């Protein structure tokens, strides 16, 4: 058996087998990229989402909000433990060792459904009005802070 010495103290020697193996997150980053669509088995269902297994024994999370465009009452109606699901990689941070997946990102949003907008809020957006929203955002003047002199002058 091969081991790496990771520490020497007068009374003990620290060894590691794990350090001889490749970093699974580095391997994951070489295989998967943001926005990739993958098929993975469901490991566990929790109150906040679904854990799936990726290469190298790494677990990914499909948050409850990423399962469907409509509110989810029973997760088992969408996924089952042991079955494979298709999901899109929506976050991938190798340094933080986090990967987020979405099933709903593979489906078009129904008309009038909640859509995420800048600032992390949600709003019901009618698809026929989306162009109007872009125009309003461009035309809306930015507020600037007034100086004391400008306030007194008014």
Residue 125 lies in a domain: yes
Residue 32 lies in a domain: yes
pLDDT of 95 higher than 60: yes
pLDDT at position 53, please? 93
Residue 33 lies in a domain: yes
The CATH number assigned to the domain holding 88 equals 2.40.50.140
Residue 134 lies in a domain: yes
Average pLDDT over every residue of 50-63:
90
pLDDT of 118 higher than 60: no
Kindly list the distances between the CA atom of residue 86 and the CA atoms of 37, 55, 83, 89, 119, in Å, as whole numbers in the listed order. 7, 15, 10, 10, 28
Q: Residue 100 is part of which domain span? A: 16-153
Residue 3 lies in a domain: no
Confidence of residue 38 (pLDDT cuts 50, 70, 90): very high
pLDDT of 104 higher than 90: yes
Residue 47 lies in a domain: yes
Residue 7 lies in a domain: no
How, if at all, do strands 98-102 and 59-63 pair?
parallel
Confidence of residue 111 (pLDDT cuts 50, 70, 90): confident
Distance CA(45)–CA(75), nearest Å, equals 8
- Give the residue with greater pLDDT, 57 vs 54: 54
- Give the residue with greater pLDDT, 88 vs 126: 88
- What is the three-class DSSP state of 111? coil
Domain count, the chain: 1
């Amino acid at each position: 058996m091969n081991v790496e010495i990771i520490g020497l103290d007068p009374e003990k020697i620290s060894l590691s087998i794990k350090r001889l193996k490749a970093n699974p997150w580095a391997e994951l980053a070489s295989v998967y990229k943001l926005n990739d669509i993958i098929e993975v088995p469901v490991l566990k269902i929790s109150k906040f989402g679904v854990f799936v297994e990726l290469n190298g024994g790494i677990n990914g999370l499909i948050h409850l909000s990423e399962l469907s465009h409509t509110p989810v009452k029973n997760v088992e109606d969408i996924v089952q433990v042991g079955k494979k699901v298709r999901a899109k990689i929506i976050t991938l941070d190798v340094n933080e060792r986090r990967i987020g997946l979405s099933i709903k990102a593979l489906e078009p949003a129904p008309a009038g459904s909640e859509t995420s907008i800048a600032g992390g809020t949600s709003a019901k957006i009618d698809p026929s009005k989306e162009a109007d929203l872009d125009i309003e955002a461009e035309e809306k003047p930015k507020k600037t802070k007034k100086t004391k002199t400008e306030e007194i002058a008014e």
